[in-house]
Structure 1
């Protein structure tokens, strides 16, 4: 799990106008909350935060006004629908050794059995519980040789040590769908003649 250090500034101005002003300075308005504390309104550098958020469940070490460090993980990210820049981010305060519930991306490796079958990702991300400083960046599932009708359940996925499922083990994560047979041109011609 990667840890990214960012310098944060506290902010006291709120509302749309203040947020627009912050974004004009290439910064992002952020709210840090958790552990029963009062939410902290912060400003983070836009480009550095954007790069950090490319890693799923990134651990962010915040140096708040040079006074102290806090650890946080992204909870909610709002982006501009057209241009894609960050509009607002909610961060969840975490402590070292604390367990958190997060969703980890599911990646596949290998090839399905021959026959043109399709792989359906029922879950693109697997809900797990892990220590805040040891969240896996992804889980990898082998689909080598799976045939139509096969399914991979949550309990079948090998998780890193210290990580447990936060979803029912019988939940379907991946399934293989049979390829639909195309009608031959003769059959289509016969049906047209009958009509």
Structure 2
């Protein structure tokens, strides 16, 4: 399940570009909390704390308990914007998480047991088709990642989504019910299997 973190926020007055610039001049980041059948709530966040959270990774799959002037709201970031020149956050969108609700998230795929894949040992290349998989997941059970086991894979083998254990209640949105997540390609020239044949061939000019 995705990690939950606490994050302090403050309700901000006013919306639009002018109000957002005013918030940034105060050293804070404008944000909005929406969804859950309630009206959007304009909020602001501490710039230093939010920047650290974003660049630490997994920000968009982390559940936050927002403390908005003493009121607690469970939410997940749906998007953030970075300054195009200086690459720091300038806005964040949060989605309210209500019990029993579902949402779509991109879940990272972690590959394990490369050392137990014969094709990789022989010099093959892993072709990753999906580094992340979009899934519809319960709001109270958002996975941090799914694990793809490469053990036993040889040249020209494929790993399909049906071979990857998925958390309960999580379903891929891909219309292909058994799409390929990764495949193992032989190296150019045939790899180790071609080596014995090459060694057995006589060199040019020799009898």
TM-score normalised to structure 1 length: 0.81
1:138: how far off? Answer: 0.8
Q: Which runs of 5+ in 2 are unaligned?
A: 191-207
**1:114-142 deviation per Cα after TM superposition (whole angstroms, max 9, x unaligned):** 33221122111112222212211111111
**Mapping 1:74-89, distance limit 5 Å:** 74-89=77-92
The size of the alignment, in residue pairs, is 181
**Mapping 1:1-195, distance limit 5 Å:** 1-53=2-54, 54-55=57-58, 56-66=60-70, 68-111=71-114, 112=117, 113=119, 114-167=121-174, 168-181=176-189
CA distance in 1 between partners of 2:96 and 2:139 (Å):
10
Contact in 1 for aligned 2:130/2:182 (Cα 8 Å): yes
The structure that is helix-richer by fraction is 2
Q: CA RMSD in A?
A: 2.2
CA distance in 1 between partners of 2:80 and 2:23 (Å):
16
Label 1:144 to 1:97 Cα distance change in 2 as closer, same or farther (>3 A): same
**1:85-133 deviation per Cα after TM superposition (whole angstroms, max 9, x unaligned):** 2121111111133222211100101224233221122111112222212
* Bigger CA radius of gyration: 2
Runs of 4+ in 1 over 4 A off after TM superposition: none
Q: Which runs of 5+ in 1 are unaligned?
A: 183-195
